[in-house]
Structure 1
């Protein structure tokens, strides 16, 4: 979180280790297989189910922003203890980014923006994004760049 609220991973083993470290520190970790999302609708369905969004969730990007804001900033819809953080872990995100590039970018932007707002309220929201494409790039999100994790940032094998 020092550099960005959304962090990229190429190797799943590093992603798993990072998620486990956060879980061991009391974070609620939600794992989502983005590689199974063929449409934006699939993404909405998966996130709404995982975060227990209310029935009135509109299943569009504006509604995602609203409901994720409730979760990130106020702990809504979940049973996480006060002050605990939430970690969203997306695996195979490159597949979703290929099929729905605009939505994939906007989802990360929404998460980064909500994470920044949550931090002001002393809550924590982190997103770990795994890609099988070692060259994947995203535009800055939440006015911050999407960066590789420290262990792989300079990894020549990723190229």
Structure 2
């Protein structure tokens, strides 16, 4: 049986820290599905379509990585995809407190799901999507934090 992991998140934007979790996840799982979820409590900075395109380009040489978008509970999406693992990155104890509750609910909803936490690589620990959004919003360079070029992102954002 294939070991499929769903890596869910809003990925607004998808960072080098996220990329690192996916690449490390490929050592553990046969497939990693990056799931861009629609979080009703968050207004997106970059469109889901743009992020999907950029993430797909980032992993175009990795056939074991795919990207989906979803507007449902993560546990339901995992079940539909045949994923029995959720892959999550933890930067700090605050992330753990937040993710722990979510993992318990996902297990309640889908008993076969296991959440696997990977501790963020030290060089990516200070990076968060919200910090990158703030930097970008105020005209600061963010390319060092992203696995794709900002000009590519801006071009796609204008097309969508």
Same fold (TM over 0.5): no
Bucket of the pairwise TM-score, normalised by the shorter protein: 0.3 to 0.5
Structure number with higher relative contact order (C-alpha < 8 Å, ≥ 6 residues apart): 1
